[in-house]
Amino acid sequence: MSRYRGPRLRVVRRLGELPGLTRKSAKRSYAPGQHGEKPRKRSEYAIRLEEKQKLRFNYGVSERQLLRYVRRARRVKGSTGQVLLQLLEMRLDNTVFRLGMAPTIPSARQLVGHGHIQVNGRTVYTPSYECRPGDVVTVRDRANSKALVENNLQFPGLANLPSHLEFDKNKLEGKVNGLVEREWVALQINELLIVEFYSRKG
């Protein structure tokens, strides 16, 4: 399945707050659709599927990409769930979003795709580029690139900068100092259920 491009608030109503997908909040508290208001007993599978969908929609990755990240996380020593979150958080589009250069991850992806962002002095067009400790993320030295980011900085998606990042507003320069810690992941999620979901699928 490709990346979702449909109504975002519909997804928020079904899955709950997704800070990376949209800054808007739904007016209605129940799920969309004909049976949205009726309470339903959800199966174990449905609960795990919902957690997985939260991750997918928040970070804007396809099912195939997420499966690849899960397989990579399994090969790394430590908690598979936490490693999975780290891999997703260290993507360039998410790093640009967390630095406040874009209000949402989709808009950060657009900034990267249009060549407004540089990593270590080189323009990177790939939103899935994996940032590493020591990487310096800057805005390309063009008037329209700087104007776009400066405008976005007035209305950042999240108020707090994670501890693994630092940002100089005057230079429009961010630095990755380490790997993200679990408490700085903005999405309310149970990553263990996602690992279980994929372990049952094989």
Within this chain, do residues 54 and 38 fall inside the same structural domain, yes or no?
yes
Domain extent at residue 99: 91-178
Coil, helix or strand at residue 101: coil
Q: Are residue 102 and residue 172 in the same domain, yes or no?
A: yes
- Whether 48 is in a domain gets the answer yes
Q: What is the CA radius of gyration of the chain?
A: 17
The pLDDT tens digits of the residues spanning 72-129 come to 999 998 899 999 999 999 999 999 999 999 998 989 999 999 999 999 999 999 999 9
102 with 45, same domain: the answer is no
Bridge partners (DSSP) of residue 137 are 119, 174
CA distance 147 to 91: 23
CA dist., res. 197 & res. 202, Å (int):
9
**In terms of pLDDT, which residue wins out, 187 or 129?**
129
- Looking up residue 22, the CATH number of its domain turns out to be 1.10.1050.10
Task: Please name the residue ranges forming H helices in the chain.
Answer: 8-15, 44-59, 63-75, 80-89, 92-98, 105-113, 143-153, 191-201
Query: Would you say residue 1 lies in a domain?
Result: no
The letter for the amino acid at 46 is: A
Q: What is the pLDDT of residue 186?
A: 82
Number of domains the chain contains: 2
Confidence of residue 166 (pLDDT cuts 50, 70, 90): very high
Write the pLDDT tens digit of every residue in 5-60.
666 666 666 666 777 666 666 566 656 555 555 667 778 888 898 899 889 988 98
Tell me the CATH number at 100.
3.10.290.10
